[in-house]
A = this chain, B = another copy of it.
Amino acid sequence: MVQTFDFFFSYGSTYSYLSVMRIGNLCADAGVQVRWRPYNARAIMTEQNNRPYVGKPVKTRYMWRDVERRAAQFGIPFNGIPPYPISPSTLAHRVGLVASQEGWCPEYSTAVYRKWFIEHKEPTEQTHLASVIAGIGHDAVAVLAKADSVPIGNLLDSETDEARRLGVFGSPTFAVGEEIFWGDDRLEIALKWWNERK
């Protein structure tokens, strides 16, 4: 049986920027069919009392320096520290699930993160999301309406339940079957794990 390779991430996560920009090429090179699975990391982290940066300025300062250094290492653009933290809306996640169902989640997620990290515009705002969706050739009004529907709300809940069941506590997390790997810095290790068990 070919092991699944799942990319659980949340649009409010800073380190997920690096993974969103890297995972497509890395998985293509490795022959991995990756499933992009936006989930509600904030809900899980809140219930687990896991607040890695709130009220922690020293750790937060390091996080941005580390993201900047890693971006440079991988040749990913970094335009200084973007707005952070962003609002707790799940609209970007729900659009991500629509995109995932329709097969354009990678392009969408990349565009969302460019909006946030390069243009410094919060991707949670509806007008910014509409611009992202239209910018990659989709009908923003139709997509936003679908993102706001009950089935997509239920799908966000069930994806978050699945992340919770796997023991996910942060974003990004890569799951190879039931084995989870947390953090952009574990992406290569997760791919190696997959390759040794495929």
Contacts and interface: CB of A to CB of B under 8 A. Distances in A.
Q: Is the interface of A mostly helix, strand, loop or mixed?
A: mixed
A59 B185 contact: no
Contacts of A18: none
A56 B62 contact: no
A190 to B, nearest CB: 11
Interface string A142-184: 0000000000000000000000000101100000000011100
Contact of A49 (B56, B62, B167, B186): B56
Taking the full assembly, how many copies of this chain does it contain?
Answer: 2
Given A62-B180, A62-B182, A169 B56 contact: yes
Contact of A182 (B52, B66, B182): B66
Interface of A: 48-50, 52, 55-56, 58-59, 61-62, 66, 69, 73, 167, 169-170, 180-182, 185-186, 189
The 8 closest A-B pairs by CB, nearest first: A59-B169, A58-B169, A185-B185, A58-B167, A48-B58, A50-B56, A49-B55, A48-B56
